[in-house]
Amino acid sequence: MESSEKVVIAFDLYGTLLSTDSIADELATIYGGDKAQSLATVWRRYQLEYTWRINSMGQYKSFSEITRNALAHAVAEHGLTLAVSDAARLMTAYDALHVFPEIPAAMKLLQGNKDAVSAHIFSNGTDQMVGSSIRTSPELSPHADIFQSLITVDGLRCFKPDPRTYAHLVEQSGKKGHPGDVWVVSANPFDVAGAKAAGLKSAFIDRQGQGWIDRLDEMYMPTLIAGGVDQAIKSILNY
């Protein structure tokens, strides 16, 4: 099958393929198991919030900087301190996050359909951060060659859901002028809504089984909802 005829699927990385909660294991070695999960959750919350804030202000810091600053915020909010060495250690560990349970099956599904699917990573992360995460994640690294490209937004100096990021994805995936030919698979509602607003198709990964509860606007609802990335791939292939 010619590449132009393949189904283009772009997978969000952090929170969709890689579990940001899995950093709790490393946090536990520094702050104890009783605080680790809460720290991981708050770290992720501020990581995302900082991207939205800085987008709104028309400013920019790299996702790596934002991730480090969000860590400091989470630690301070818990009344704890963050040593420079611990910050460096945690940022290194962030490059080796574990995947969600269904991801190995999803990767095998992509491998089995490589003649029908053009798979890409589409992330807020920097080229270096995303590349390291793909190469270092214990469960994802064996499947790194499945992805045709690692598409990041760092060169644009803005973050999802800015429409420029989705235009960049469409262009980089070889579908310029045809956004409706590109699927975004994401567990992040803001990403799903951003993709739909930009004219792309979207698959929302609903691991909690709550359905689409975002109420910003019905026009931003996902094209389809799936309980896991593997289910999303199957649904897209049958769409």
- Per domain, the residue ranges of the chain are 3-18+98-237, 20-94
| Per-residue pLDDT at 87 | 98
| Per-residue pLDDT at 1 | 54
- Give yes or no on whether 3-18+98-237 and 20-94 have one common fold: no
Q: Please check whether the domain covering 20-94 is classified as CATH 1.10.150.240.
A: yes
**Which DSSP state fits 95?**
T
Q: Tens digits of per-residue pLDDT, 60-87? A: 999 999 999 999 999 999 999 999 999 9
Nearest C-alpha neighbor of 138 from the set 94, 97, 109, 92 = 97
* Cα–Cα dist 5/53, whole Å: 38
Give the Å distances, CA to CA, from 57 to 64, 105, 134, 155.
18, 40, 30, 18
Name 218's Cβ contacts closer than 8 Å, sequence gap at least 6: none
| Per-residue pLDDT at 5 | 85
Q: Chain centroid to CA 183: how far?
A: 14
Q: Tens digits of per-residue pLDDT, 94-118? A: 999 999 999 999 999 999 999 999 9
CATH of 3-18+98-237, one of 3.40.50.1000, 3.10.129.10, 1.10.10.10, 3.40.50.11540: 3.40.50.1000
| Per-residue pLDDT at 4 | 67
Ranges of the chain whose pLDDT falls below 50: none
Helix axis angle for 84-94 and 63-77, nearest 10°, is 120
Angle at 102 between CA 111 and CA 204, to 5 degrees: 95
| Per-residue pLDDT at 47 | 98
* Cα–Cα dist 46/67, whole Å: 8
